[in-house]
Amino acid sequence: MRSPTVYCGPMWGGKTEALISRLVRARIQEIPVLAFNPHLNDRYGTRDIRAHSGASFPATPVHSGEEILEVVRREQPQVVGIDEFFMIPSALAAVEYMVHRRIKVVVSTLDLDSEGVIWEGLGQLLAMAEEVVKCPAVCAVCKADAYFTFRKGYAPSERVLVGADEFYEPRCRRCFDQGQEAKRAATGEGSLFDGGS
């Protein structure tokens, strides 16, 4: 297994499903495995990593990368899975520590927020990864491959809305840009492409 392996992309792209598949395979091979889920990610409870399809894998809820390392040092796994990397402060430092100690790490994460801005630590994670798999969803507007998570105009303004499926949808670049332009027009802001504020 290449390490770190990162499954990234928008919501509904199958990232968590891919992560679970890798962890189940390691478990079948009788390799010691640990999985971690951010405490904030309570859509289905925090004791499991759970995909939209219903697939799941037992996980330890954590608030930080330091908590990940506490458990790793105690349990001595050979493979570690981290779901929703972007929600865990200092997760990058934890991944770096594990990789340098030859622990195989598999990560599932959004790469961009709903404004198309990369999450903190993701650039470094992707640069150090030995395998990166972009997992597109299906655009809710035109059904093309979707690499962006679009926040609908009536959604609350928090950067992270856990389990807020009613506020988000996957979009391709063209439909994402059109949606962002429509939101900016509705609020009287300038165009994304004309240097407006």
Q: Please, is 101 exposed, middle or buried when counting C-beta atoms within 10 Å of its C-beta (0-12, 13-18, 19+)?
A: exposed
Q: What is the DSSP letter of 115?
A: T
Three-state SS string over 145-174 comes to: EECEEEECCCCCCCCCCCCCHHHEEEECHH
Q: How far apart are the first and last CA of the chain?
A: 46
Estimate the crossing angle of helix 91-100 against helix 65-75, to 10 degrees: 30
Residues tagged active-site: 84
